[in-house]
């Protein structure tokens, strides 16, 4: 037995002795559990995925901020802030409709100009944004 296995055994026994039950993953806690805790693998020094390259920043910010589209469990895009979209006949102009009721943390409504400013900021820095901007 290695040291890590031994320590895991002691931790499990300590939890059992202290609480009378074994610790369980969040999925096993049922619907009553309402708090999600995020423990990053590295120091979360900033919270801006546009100006940082660290995965820890990208992962944390993806759990906090909405985007126009997100990915589902099959990595297929799904509407998140977007309620719908229209594409011009030539395919060069896309018009997005925002879901009603979107708000910032301070209660102010999210407006189209806010989304446009965020997209402008992203396409000026991110490699995928630069590629899309060039197209």
CATH number of 55-134: 3.90.76.10
Global pTM value:
0.62
Q: Which of 27-31, 61-65, 87-91 has the highest mean pLDDT?
A: 87-91
Average pLDDT over residues 109-124: 93
User: What's the pLDDT at 62?
Assistant: 83
Residue among 112, 111, 115, 93 at smallest CA distance from 103 = 111
Q: Is the pLDDT of residue 75 over 80?
A: yes
Listed by start position, the domains of the chain span: 1-37, 55-134
């Amino acid at each position: 037995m290695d040291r890590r296995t031994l320590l895991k055994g002691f931790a499990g026994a300590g939890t059992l002795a202290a609480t009378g039950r074994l610790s369980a993953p969040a999925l096993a806690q049922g619907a009553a559990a309402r708090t999600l805790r995020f423990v990053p693998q590295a120091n979360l020094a900033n919270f801006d995925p546009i100006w940082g390259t660290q995965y820890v920043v990208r992962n944390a910010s993806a759990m906090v901020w909405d985007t126009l589209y997100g990915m589902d469990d099959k990595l297929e895009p799904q509407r998140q802030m977007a309620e719908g979209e229209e594409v011009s006949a030539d395919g060069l102009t896309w018009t997005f409709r925002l879901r009603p009721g979107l708000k910032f943390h301070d209660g102010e409504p999210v407006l189209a100009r806010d989304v446009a400013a965020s997209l402008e900021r992203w396409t000026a820095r991110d490699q995928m944004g630069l590629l899309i901007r060039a197209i």
